[in-house]
Structure 1
Amino acid sequence: MILGLIKLEVKQLFRSSNLAKNILVNIFAGFSMLFVLFWLFLIGRALPSVIQSLTGSDDVFYVVNTYLAHFFLMEILLRYFFQKVPGANISPFIHLPVPKSLLTFWLLLKSLISPMSLLVLAVFLPFARQAVIPFYGSTAGFLWLGTLLAISFTLHWLVILLKLKTEKGFRGFLLFLAVIALVLGMDHFGYLAVLTRLHPFFEFAASSVIPFVVLLLVMLFFFLLVFRSFKLHTHLEDDVKKVGYNFYNYAPGILSRFGFLGDIAILEWRLILRHKRSRNLLFTGLIFLTYGMIFYTNPQYFNEDGSISTVLILPAIFITGTLAMQFGQLFISWNSSHFDFFMNKPDGISSLIRGKYLLYMLAVSFMLILSLPYAYFGWQILYLHLAAFLYNVGVNLNIIVWLALWQPKPINLNAGGTWNMEGMGCAQFLLAVPVLGVPLIIVAILSFFFSQVVAFIVIGGIGLIGLILFPYFSGLAVKKVIENRYNISSTFRKES
C-alpha cells in the first residue's frame, strides 16, 4: 500500500499543469539544500582543528559534548521556523477502504524527508569519523551518533506538536520564544547552567547503549502523540467544515472609521494571522527587527566626528520596511483565491488596493516604533530611521506595489513558507534594486557634496512628498488593476 501511495505521488507530480515550473523550483531548492549541507559537512570536518585552535584543548570530544545542548536548542529554533507541519491531500482516500492509520503513517513518513533530518549527520558524522572513532572505537562512535540522531528526530515530532498548539495565534509563539530566551539567559548568567552540565550524558552515550535506547523510546512516545493527533482528524467531515468563510464574521476594529476600506484592512490582518505562509512571514519580519544589531554595534560604521556611515541607510530602510516589503511584493497575489469577490463588488478593487495600502503603512509605522530602542546607539540612528520611515511609506511602498502588479501569480495561503516560490517572479527578484539601491545613492551623493543632515532631510522630504501624493499613486495602482482585472482573474483561476 505504501508503494501505491508513492506511485500516486509520482503520477501527481508529472501530471501537474505546472510541471516545468515545479521541476525548476525543485531543482533550485535541491541545489540550495545540497549547498547548505555541503558547507555543514565541511564545518564538521574542520571542527576538531577549530576547537583545538580556539580552546587549546586536545580533548575536542569533551568540548563538543559540553555545547551539544546549545546545538539542539538552535536546531529546535530552526525547526520551529522552517519545518512545516505535515500536510497532504488525503481527502480522495478517506472514503475508500484504506486504513486511516496507514494514511496517517504515510503523512508523517513524508515529513521526515527534509534537510533538517540530515542536519546532525552533516555536522557530526565527519566529526565522529575524525575525533570519536579513532580514539574510542567504532561502537562508541555509532552509539554517540545514533543518540544524536534520536534526539534530532525527537525534536522533529516535538516541534510538530508545538506548532499544532501554537499556530493559531501569537500567545503560544511568544510563550515558546520566552521559554527559549529564559533557558539561554539563565545558562548565560550562571543562575541555572543546565545546558553546559549535560556533557556527562553525551559522554555516557559513547560508552553505553542505555542513552540510545532511552531516547529511542522517547522519540517513539512523541511519534505516537503526533500519530494520534493526526489520526483523529482524518475524517471526511473535517474537510467539509473547512470549506468556505464568512466575510463579515468579525467585530469591527479601530480601522472601521475608514469605511469599507478599513474593513478590508482588518480582513487582511486577520487573514495574515490565519494562514501559514503569511503568518510565517510576519514572524520572520519581526525577527528581522534585530538586523540592526549587526550594524549599530559595529564601531566601523560610526565616524569620529559623530557622523555615521552612509551604508546604514540600508538596514534602516530594511528594518522599518521589512513587513511592507515581504507582504507588498505579493500585493494582489494574497487575494488570488477570492479576487473575483472584489471584482463583482462596487468599488471592491479600489477598496482592496487602498485597504492594503493602509495596512502596510500601519505596518511600517509599527516597525518604526519597535525600532526606537536603537536610539541607544546614538540619536543619529533615530533620525535615520525617521527618514527611512518617511521614504518607505511615501516612495518604496508605491514602487513595491507597482512591481507586484506586473503579471501577478496566485499563491496557496496554507502552504508553508520554507523554499516556497509560489507567486514569485522577475519583479520580486528585482525589487531590491530600486527599494534599497536608490536611497543609498541619494544619501551617498548628498553626504559627499553637503552633509548627512541634508541627506536625511532630503530622503525624508521625498518620502513626505510621496505621502502627500498618496491619492494619486494609489489611484494609478487601482487603474492598473481595473484595466487588467480580467487577465488577473483568469490567471488566478487557471493556475490555482
Structure 2
Amino acid sequence: MVKRFLSLEWKQFSRASYFQKGIAIKILLFFAAAYFSAIAIFFGIGIFFILKKAMPNTDPMVMVNNFLIYWLLFDLVIRFFMQQLPVMNIKPLMTIPIKRETVIHYLLGKTAISFFNFLPLFIFLPFTIVLLVQGYPVVNVLCWFVSVMTLTFCNNFINFLINKNNAYFYSIVSVLAIFIGLEVYQIFKISEPIGVAFNTLFNQPYLVLIPMLLLVALYRINFNDIKKGFYLDGAISKKVETVSTSDLSWLDRFGSIAVFLKNDLRLIWRNARPKQVLMMSFLFLFYGLIFYTQEAYQKMPAFLAFASMFVTGGFLMTFGQLVPSWDSEYYKLLMSQNIPYRKYLESKWYLMVVAVTISFVLSTPYLYFGWKIFGMIAAGALFNIGLNSFITLFGGALNRVPIELNVKAKAFSNTNGFNPTQMLIALPKLGLPMLLFYIPYKLVNFEVGIMVLALSGVLGIVFKNFFLSKIENLYQKGKYKTVAAFAEKN
C-alpha cells in the first residue's frame, strides 16, 4: 500500500504543469541541503577537539551533554519556522476500502523523510565515531547516539502537534517561556539538572529506553489527533465563519485603481499566507541591526547599501515578488472583467510604494546610527520605489505558479508560488543598489554614492508610465498562459 501511495504522489507531481519548475526547485534545495550537510559533518568531527583545546580539564562529552538541551530547543524552533509538514489529499481515499490507520501511518511516516531529521545525523554520527576512536565505552556511546537521534524524532512529532493544534502550541510555548525566565533571572538554572540527566543517560546505557518510550507516546498522540478528524463528513464540511467587514471608502481617492487596492487589503487581512508574509516583511526593518552594529561592515559601505535597501523593502521583496500569484484563485474571473491590465499593475505598484513609505517612517530610530546611515536608508527607499518595484513587477510577468491563500505553510520554507526565475530576477534587485552606490563612492565620496542611489529612484518615478507600459505588454502577451497555469492547482 505504501508503494501505491508513493506511485499516486509521483503521478500527481509529474503530470502537473509545474513539473519542470518543481524539478528545478528540488535541485536547488538539494544543493542547499548538501552544503549544510557538509558543514554539519565538519562541525561534528571538530567539536570534540575544539572543546578539548578550549577546556582541557573538562571532558568534551560532559560539555556536549550540558548544552544538548539548547541544541534540541534550537532544533524545535527552526522546525517550527521552516519545516514543511507533509500533506496528502485524503478525500478520494475515504471513499475506497483503505483502512484509516494505513493512511495515517503513511502520513506520519512521511514526516521522517525530512532534512531536519537527517541534519543531526550528520553532526552526531561523526561525533560518535570520534568518541569511539578516542576510546570511550562502545555501548555507552552507541546508546547515547541512539538516544539523541530518538529525541530528534521526538522534536519532529512535537512540531507536528504544535502546528496542527493550538492547545499544544500555547502549552509548549508557556512552559519554555517559564524555563527561560527562570534561567535568565537566575531563579533556577533549569539547564543544570537537564545537563545532569543527559550525562546520566550516557553513563547508564539502559536509560535509552526513556527516549524510545517518549517517541512512541508522541507518535501515538499524533496518530489519535489525526484520527479524530479522519471522517468523510468532517473532511467535506465547510467551516462557517463570520467575515468582518471594514470601511475602505478612504481608498476611493485613488480613482479607478481603488477597487484593486481594496481587494488586496482584504486579501491580506482575511487569508493566512498573506498575513504570514506581512509579518515576515516587518522583520526586515531589523535587518540593518546586523550590519550597522558591526564595525567590520563600516569598512564595506556597499554592504551597508544592501542592508539599507532591505530595511524598507521587506513587503516589496516578500509580497511583491509573488504578483500575480496572490490572485491565482480568481485570476480567470479577474481577467474576464472589462478592466484595463494597466490599472491592475498600477494598483500593485501603489501598494508597494505605500508599504515602502510606511517602512521608511518606521525606520526613523536608525537615526541613532547617524545621518549618513539614515540618508542611505532614505536613498534605499527611493530606489525601492523608483526601480525595485518595477523590477519586481517585471518578474511577476514570468511567475505562473499559483498560491493557496489559506494554507498555513512555513513562511521561510514554503515553495508554494515559488519560481526559479525569481532567483534570477532577484540578482538585479540585490546587486544593483550596491553597484549604484559603490561606483560613485569609490570615484568621489560617500555622499555622492548616496545621491546617485537616490537619483536612480527619482528617475524611475519620473519614467513610471514608460516602465508600466513595457511591463503591461509582457503581462498581456502571457495572459492566457498565466490563466491556464493558475487553473491547475499545485
TM-score range, shorter chain: 0.7 to 0.9
Q: 1:453 aligns with which of 437, 447, 451?
A: 447
Matched, 1:224 2:220: yes
Instruction: Tell me what 1:318 maps to.
Output: 310
Distance in 1 between residues matched to 2:21 and 2:193, nearest whole Å: 49
The residue aligned with 2:39 is 39
Secondary structure, counterpart of 2:203 in structure 1: coil
Give the C-alpha shift of residue 263 in structure 1: 1.3
| Aligned residue in 1 for 2:255 | none
Deviation at 1:136, TM superposition (A): 4.0
Q: Do residues 489 (structure 1) and 489 (structure 2) align?
A: no
Q: Does 1:443 align with 2:442?
A: no
Asked whether 1:291 is paired with 2:287, we answer yes
Amino acid of the residue matched to residue 262 of structure 2? D
For the pair 1:263 / 2:262, whether they are aligned, the reply is: yes
| 1:347 maps onto 2:336 in alignment | no
Q: Distance in 2 between matches of 1:24 and 1:138?
A: 43
Distance 2:321 2:345 in 1: 13
Counterpart-to-counterpart distance in 1, 2:457 and 2:27: 41
Q: Are the counterparts in 1 of residues 125 and 145 from structure 2 also a CA contact under 8 Å?
A: yes
SS at match of 2:204: coil
Match of 1:53 in 2: 53
Instruction: Tell me if the contact between 2:80 and 2:159 (Cα under 8 Å) persists in the aligned partners.
Output: yes
Are 1:236 and 2:232 matched, yes or no?
yes
In the TM superposition, residue 60 of structure 1 has moved relative to its aligned partner by 0.4
Q: Residue 415 of structure 2 corresponds to which residue in structure 1?
A: 420
Residue aligning to 1:131: 131
Structure 1 window deviating more from structure 2 (360-369 vs 378-387): it is 360-369
SS of equivalent residue, structure 1 residue 219: helix
> Equivalences for 1:166-315 in 2 at 5 Å?
187=183, 190-209=186-205, 211-241=207-237, 249-254=243-248, 257-258=251-252, 259-270=258-269, 273-275=271-273, 278=274, 281-282=277-278, 284-302=280-298, 309-315=301-307
* Aligned-partner SS, 2:487: helix
Worse-matched range after superposition: 64-73 or 219-228: 219-228
Report the alpha carbon displacement of residue 139 of structure 1 after superposing the two structures with TM: 1.7
Q: TM-score, normalised on structure 2?
A: 0.85
CA–CA distance in 2 between the matches of 1:366 and 1:193? Answer: 42
Name the structure 2 match of 1:140. 140
Q: How does 1:81-160 map to 2 (within 5 A)?
A: 81-131=81-131, 134-160=134-160
- Kept in 2, the 8 Å contact 1:61–1:132? The answer is no
Instruction: Output one character per residue of 1:96-117: Cα deviation in whole Å (capped at 9) or x when no partner.
Output: 1222222122111111110111
Q: Which residue of 1 aligns with 2:162?
A: 162
Against the structure 1 CA distance between its residues 287 and 182, is the aligned structure 2 distance closer, same or farther, given a 3 Å change threshold? Answer: farther
The answer to whether the 8 A contact 2:284-2:312 is kept is no
Counterpart Cα distance in 2 of 1:253 and 1:488 = 32
- What is the letter of the counterpart of residue 116 of structure 2? M
Deviation at 1:57, TM superposition (A): 3.9
Do the aligned partners of 1:342 and 1:348 also contact (CA within 8 Å) in 2?
Answer: no
Q: CA 1:298–1:257 in 2, change beyond 3 Å: closer, same or farther? A: same
For residue 323 of structure 2, what is the amino acid of its counterpart? Answer: F
1:57-101 per-residue CA deviation (whole Å, 9 max, x = no partner) reads: 451011111111111111011101111233111111111122222
Deviation at 1:45, TM superposition (A): 0.9
State the 1:326 CA deviation: 2.5
Matched, 1:429 2:423: yes
CA distance in 2, matches of 1:380, 1:196: 46
1:199 to partner: Cα distance: 1.1
CA deviation vs aligned residue, 1:385-413 (integer Å, no higher than 9, x gap) = 122112212221111112321x3222343
Q: CA deviation at 1:312?
A: 0.6
Whole-Å separation in 1 of the counterparts to 2:16 and 2:480: 24
**Deviations, residues 144-194 of structure 1 (Å, cap 9, x unaligned):** 122212221221111122222459xxxx79x98898677557645645432
Distance 1:341 1:200 in 2: 63
Residue type of the partner of 2:426? A
Matches within 5 A, 1:370-449: 370-405=362-397, 407-413=398-404, 414=407, 418=413, 420=415, 422-426=417-421, 428-449=422-443
Q: Which runs of 5+ in 2 are unaligned?
A: 253-257
Q: What's the Cα RMSD here? A: 3.5
Deviations, residues 432-476 of structure 1 (Å, cap 9, x unaligned): 332232222222233344432343244334424534655664455
Q: CA deviation at 1:288?
A: 4.5
The residue number in structure 1 matching 2:356 is 364
Tell me by how many angstroms 1:34 deviates: 3.1
Deviations 1:301-341 (A, max 9, x none): 336xxxx8243101111232133123222211232232112
Deviations 1:215-236 (A, max 9, x none): 3333333323322222222233
Q: CA deviation at 1:343?
A: 0.9
Give the 3-state SS of the residue equivalent to 1:252 in structure 2: coil
Note if contact 2:67-2:195 (Cα within 8 Å) is conserved in structure 1: yes
Rounded to whole Å, the distance in 1 between the matches of 2:228 and 2:489 is: 32
- Give the 3-state SS of the residue equivalent to 1:445 in structure 2: helix
For 1:200, the aligned partner's letter is V
Gaps of 5+ in 1: none
SS at structure 2 position matched to 1:206: helix
* Identical aligned residues as a percent: 22
Tell me if structure 2 keeps the 8 A contact 1:331–1:404. yes
Q: Is the Cα contact below 8 Å between 1:313 and 1:439 reproduced in 2? A: yes
Q: Aligned in 2, Cα 1:254/1:20: closer, same or farther, shift over 3 Å?
A: closer
Describe the superposition over 1:181-214 as per-residue Cα deviations: whole angstroms up to 9, x where unpaired.
7755764564543235421110111122564333
